Amino acid sequence: MKKASDKYTYRVTWSEEDGEYIGLCAEFPGLSWLAGAPGSALKGIRSIVAGVIKDMTRNHEAVPEPIALRHYSGKFVVRVPSEVHRRMALQAAEAGVSINRLVSAKLSH
C-alpha cells in the first residue's frame, strides 16, 4: 500500500554552496534534506515529508495535493509585451498556424 508521501514530486540536486546533495519536494517548498549521497538525500526528504503530512493530518491542517493528482485544463493565460505578441502573430501567420499552436509548440520544447 502506498503512503500518501509516495505521490509527491521529489528532486535531488547537487548544492555547491553546501557541498552535498539536496533533496527537495515541489509540494513542500520549505522543506529540504542535505546528504552526501543522492539516495540518502531522497530518503531524507521523503521521510521529512511523511512526518509533516502526519503532523498536519493530526492537527487537522490541509495537506497539499500532490501535483501528479491535480487536474489541469490545458489552459492558462500569459501576458506578454505587445511587441512579443506582434512577433508571435507574424511567426504564426508565416507558418500558417494559430498563435496558440505556435506558442504551444515553443513551450513543449
CATH class, domain 4-68, is alpha beta
3-state SS, residue 108: coil
Q: What is the mean pLDDT of residues 28-37?
A: 97
Q: Which residue has the higher pLDDT, 20 or 72?
A: 20
- Give whole-number Cα distances, 82 to 15, 79, 92, in Å: 39, 9, 15
pLDDT given for residue 5 in this prediction: 81
* Domain ranges for the chain: 4-68, 72-107
pLDDT given for residue 67 in this prediction: 94
* Cβ atoms within 10 Å of 37's Cβ, excluding its own: 11
Q: What is the mean pLDDT of residues 28-57?
A: 97
Question: Residue 23's pLDDT band (boundaries 50, 70, 90)?
Answer: very high
The residue whose grid cell reads 504564426 is 92
